[in-house]
Chain A
């Protein structure tokens, strides 16, 4: 069954450092997303991406965050200068433009900011 793959599975970084989280969405999906889940809390929407541009972003997705689809397969989330409160599990997801448009999530990248 097709899956969304994310790397790294866990990253530890120092406050103020830049972090890039990588994702390979399902190949025939057209929409891409990043969500995050702070430990013990609910999953929150960060950004959606379609046709090589951001289609929607949340209040959380400020100037410190950016997304990019540098080639035909990868989808990245960059955090320019990490803060302690950026520590969370970051989920990449993708969905087709058909049917129920169900999101398939990756296994997540756990980011720990020290």
Chain B
């Protein structure tokens, strides 16, 4: 079974609209972390947001928020007020285990977001 599943290979959103990128995960470890990274066409991986399995509140970072539904094992990324510069590939990733150890991340296949005028 896939540990990280991103079911949307591509998404379109109009500028200034909000968009939700889906991510579901599979783990039996009670301690885990969920990450979202952005990969623009230039290729670098840019960290966006993190959610720990024990965090009570959904993470937010500026225009990014993570809709964490633990029982459903989903960690969807919400981008509000989309901008043209948000056009990129978005990867969901998971680290299993305690944060004090090395972060071996398992990545999903990614969602390519295109922001249109």
- Residues in chain A within 8 A of chain B (CB atoms): 31, 33, 35, 41-45, 48, 50, 55-56, 89, 91, 93, 95, 97, 99-108, 110
Contact = CB atoms under 8 A, between A and B. Distances in A.
Contacts, number: 69
29 contacts: A33-B103, A33-B104, A41-B109, A42-B108, A43-B45, A45-B104, A50-B102, A89-B43, A95-B103, A97-B100, A100-B33, A100-B50, A100-B52, A101-B95, A101-B99, A101-B100, A102-B35, A102-B47, A102-B103, A103-B35, A103-B47, A104-B47, A105-B37, A106-B44, A107-B42, A107-B44, A108-B43, A108-B44, A110-B43
A42 B107 contact: yes
Q: Which of A35, A43, A55 has the most CB of B within 10 A?
A: A43
B102 A43 contact: no
A82 to B, nearest CB: 20
Given A43-B91, A97-B100, A103 B33 contact: no
A41 B6 CA distance: 13
Interface of B: 33, 35, 37, 42-47, 50, 52, 91, 93, 95, 99-110
A108 B44 CA distance: 6
B102 A33 contact: yes
Given A42-B110, A107-B44, A102 B102 contact: no
A42 B52 CA distance: 22
Contacts of B104: 33, 45, 48, 56
Give me the 7 closest cross-chain CB pairs, A-B, nearest first: A105-B45, A48-B102, A107-B44, A43-B107, A100-B50, A101-B99, A42-B107
Nearest to B95: A101
Given A43-B91, A97-B100, A103 B107 contact: no
Contacts of B91: 42-43
Contact of A103 (B43, B101, B103, B110): B103
